[in-house]
Amino acid sequence: MLRQRARELGRDEIASPAIQDMIGRMRDTMRDAPGVGLAAPQIGESIQLVVIEDPPQSQAGLTPAQLAERERSTVAFHVLINPRLTVVGDEQVAAYEGCLSFAGFSMIVPRWRHVRVEALDERGEPVVKVAGGWYARILQHEIDHLRGIVCCDRMEPRSLTTYDNHFRHWRSLTIDEVRAALGATPEDA
C-alpha cells in the first residue's frame, strides 16, 4: 500500500460517514503515536487524504534555538484531500525525519524550504496552504505518501539511524557536523 499512488476522493465521498469517521480515527492515531502527520495509505487506505498537526507539546524538549534552526512553530490540526504541491523557490534544507511507517528510525532528508499546497478540506472546500520550514517538510512528507514515496527514498543513505542512537550521538550536532562525522556530503544524497 505504501508504494502505490493513492486515488483521489470525489466531493461526494468526502462527506460520507466512512470518510468522516476515518478522519477522526487518523487524527487519534497520529496523536497517540505521537506524530505530526498521517496519510491514509499508512493505515491501509489508498486514498489521497492526510491529517496534520504540530502542537506545542510535540515541540517540548527543543530549545528556542533548535526551534528557530528548524523553522518550527505550532501548526493547528487540519485535513488535506487530493493535495497538489508546488515548490516555491529553489532552496532545500536537510533535517532529520522520522516516519510512523518506519517506527524507531530517523534519517536526514533534504526537502524544499517553501511550498504551496492546494487541496480540499474535510468539508470538501478548497484550501491553500503556503508553508516554509518544518511545516513545509511535514506537507512534503505526507503528500509523498500519497504518491507511493517514503522518506527513505529521499534520505541521505549514510544517515539512517535508530531514534536511540540519534538522541545519544547526533541530536546536538548540526546536519553538516553529522555529514562530516559520517564522511558524507550533500552530493552523496
Give the mean pLDDT of the chain: 94
142 is a catalytic site residue: yes
Please state, for a pLDDT cut of 90, what percent of the chain lies above it.
80
> Per the residue annotation, which of 122, 142, 156, 177 is the catalytic one?
142
- What is the greatest pairwise CA distance in the chain? 53
Buried/exposed 74-95: b ≥16 CB within 10 Å, e otherwise? ebeeebbbbbebeeeeeeebbb
pLDDT of 84 above 60: yes
The arithmetic mean of pLDDT across residues 159-164, rounded, is 92
* Residue of 79, 50, 64 lying closest to 143 (CA atoms): 50
CB atoms within 10 A of CB 25: 12
pLDDT digits (tens, 9 = 90+) for 58-83: 888 888 988 998 899 999 999 999 99
pLDDT of 188 above 80: no
**Domains of the chain (ranges plus CATH)?**
11-181 (3.90.45.10)
Residue 52 CA neighbour count, 13 Å, CB half: 24
pLDDT digits (tens, 9 = 90+) for 97-121: 999 998 899 999 999 999 999 999 9
- Rounded to two decimals, the pTM is 0.93
pLDDT score recorded for residue 69: 86
pLDDT score recorded for residue 172: 83
In the chain the beta strands, taken as DSSP E runs, fall at 37-39, 49-54, 75-98, 105-120, 126-132, 161-162
